[in-house]
Structure 1
Amino acid sequence: MQRFLRIVKWLLIMTVIIVLFFYMGSKVNIEFQKDFPFFHIEDYASQYIYVVDRETEEVIHEKNAQSKAYPASLTKIMTTILTLEHIDDLSAPAPIDTKTQRDMFANNTSMAGFAAGESVTYRDLLYGTILPSGAEAANSLAIHVAGSVENFVEMMNAKADELELDNTHFTNPEGLDHKEQYTTAADMAKLLDYALDNEDFRTVFTKETYQTTSTTAHPDGIMLASTVLSALDKGEQNDFEIIGGKSGTTEQAGENWATLGLVNNREYISIVMGAPLDDISHPNNEQIADTLKLYKNIKSGEL
């Protein structure tokens, strides 16, 4: 009987020790996360993340933010801001370049829907580049601004140097994967923050839909829609709002999103890159889930 009581006693002691261990461990972990927010338990699918408060420049969350990654169509953020800094009249004609339009079609890139040689304006091309991520629009901008894609790429890299995007390099204006075309989540956030100070860029970036001008090929114009804003459910944005964005998806890059969001009337930039992509025809959309989760966690104070 005494032996049985001793066993029960030791079992009770061990149970208390185990309970205390897990309780104290959780307390320490919580305090550790408060003091060192970058060690917050990870539950994001994206490989690379960078979230920054635009007003204070405080980095709210990061994950592999300095690691090189394929930008995919986030490249078009650079294409757009560079164009805006070199074009005075956005209503001026800027026809679709036939050769690059054909090349982009052959590479199965995302297209805005413009016809080869169609006489659209710079404004049409800018919206076509950002909203539906039109590769023919991006390359036509490059041709009109610099005379050739090659010259424009040189300008892109010069701008990257100017902005001290030290881990960024471009080989094309549309975002097709290339071993020498890379960036980081931190560099992309810096680029987007810079671009948003340009009012024309901000207008394009935050537009949900845009009707292009009437042309012979499209008498009623083309209705363009943001690949980011059209993918979001307003009901999922409780106490925050995503007001603009750019998507980018390739098989090597995975799924990327660059967004501008409002939380408590403060602007935040969120960059998520490298979300898993099992089948490009049936995307996982985990970059959307990650983006919403990040903004929710900013609101709740968990970031």
Structure 2
Amino acid sequence: MLYQKNPDTKLMPASTTKMMTALVALSAYPLDQIMTVTRPYPDGQDIHLVAGERISVERLLYALLVQSANDAGEILAEEYPGGRDTFVAAMNARAKQLNLLRTQFQNPTGLDEDGHYSSAADLARLADEFMHKPLLARIVSAENVVLATSDVSAVHVLANTNQLLGQVEGVLGAKTGYTDLAGQALVTLVNRENHPVIISVLGSTDRFSDTKKLIDWVYSNFIWD
């Protein structure tokens, strides 16, 4: 730990939740499994999937992590054996396995809900596990993506919600988050000269500026052997 401020305070994690959603989905489904959209998903950020679209798990993961699409997260959860509640239970079981002692999930998207919380330290640990999955690390490093449904009946153009990608040296990606109650969140993996650092910011009013300042501070003040 190079720097910390209230690392164990339980806070609403917003869409940084989706790192865990992706980990559970990655272990549960073949990437080429096709899922069918059965209903509209009106809550929060989405890619406007419509009923009848057929889209692969891998493409849903891109939507979930690049554009932070809630509709993608809900579909991945609803298709789980036992349904959405069982998927969320699997998220919490994985949190226990990772020793995330101040984390509990109530939904797969990060929308504000009583009993849905994490901490900056827990999210840093989660990001470490997440970024060690090559596919997930590759997905969150993508600045822009064009996705087609399996029958090419619809095309979705995605823009990464992480504004530091391609703008700040060494930023490899991870996950943004925002709700009115949670404020701005950003968990970032940055690697300069083979010295990787994870920065976890919650409850911010300017997550990108805060994270950039921390990146500059870390690489200006620490010397690695």
Give the structure-2-normalised TM-score.
Answer: 0.92
SS in 2 for 1:259: strand
Decide whether the 8 Å contact of 1:96 with 1:136 is kept in 2: no
Aligned letter for 1:186? A
Correspondence for 2:23 among 81, 90, 107: 81
Alignment of 1:147-296 (within 5 A): 147-214=82-149, 219=153, 221-228=155-162, 231-232=163-164, 234=166, 237=168, 240-276=169-205, 286-296=206-216
Aligned letter for 2:9? S
Query: 2:79 and 2:35 mapped to 1: Cα distance?
Result: 7
Aligned letter for 1:268? V
- Provide Cα deviations, 1:208-235, integer angstroms capped at 9, x if missing partner: 222212456x64621212100xx23855
Aligned length: 223
Query: 2:72 and 2:98 mapped to 1: Cα distance?
Result: 24
Query: 2:35 and 2:193 mapped to 1: Cα distance?
Result: 40
Shift of 1:175: 0.6
Q: Please state if 1:90 is matched with 2:11.
A: no
Shift of 1:203: 1.6
Decide whether the 8 Å contact of 1:263 with 1:295 is kept in 2: no
Structure 2 unmatched ranges of 5 or more: none
Q: In the superposition, relative to structure 1, how do residues 190 and 259 fare at CA in structure 2: closer, same or farther (>3 Å)?
A: same
Structure 1 unmatched ranges of 5 or more: 1-58, 277-285
Shift of 1:302: 6.4
Query: 2:214 and 2:105 mapped to 1: Cα distance?
Result: 28
Q: In the superposition, relative to structure 1, how do residues 70 and 211 fare at CA in structure 2: closer, same or farther (>3 Å)?
A: same
Shift of 1:143: 1.4
Decide whether the 8 Å contact of 2:53 with 2:149 is kept in 1: no
- Provide Cα deviations, 1:150-176, integer angstroms capped at 9, x if missing partner: 111111111111111111000000111
Shift of 1:185: 0.4
- Provide Cα deviations, 1:34-67, integer angstroms capped at 9, x if missing partner: xxxxxxxxxxxxxxxxxxxxxxxxx111110000
SS in 2 for 1:94: strand
Q: Which ranges of 4 or more aligned residues in structure 1 deviate by more than 6 Å?
A: none
Alignment of 1:124-163 (within 5 A): 124-163=59-98
Decide whether the 8 Å contact of 1:97 with 1:136 is kept in 2: no
Shift of 1:144: 1.7
Q: Which residue of 2 aligns with 1:62?
A: 4
Decide whether the 8 Å contact of 2:34 with 2:150 is kept in 1: no
Decide whether the 8 Å contact of 2:56 with 2:149 is kept in 1: no
Decide whether the 8 Å contact of 1:130 with 1:246 is kept in 2: yes
Shift of 1:123: 0.9
Higher helix share: 1
Shift of 1:198: 1.4
Question: More deviation in 128-137 or 256-265?
Answer: 256-265
Q: Please state if 1:298 is matched with 2:223.
A: no
SS in 1 for 2:155: coil
Q: Which residue of 2 aligns with 1:13?
A: none
Shift of 1:207: 1.8
Query: 2:131 and 2:172 mapped to 1: Cα distance?
Result: 12
Aligned letter for 1:232? L
- Provide Cα deviations, 1:114-159, integer angstroms capped at 9, x if missing partner: 2223101101110111111110100101112334111111111111
Q: Percent identity at matched positions?
A: 30
SS in 1 for 2:170: strand
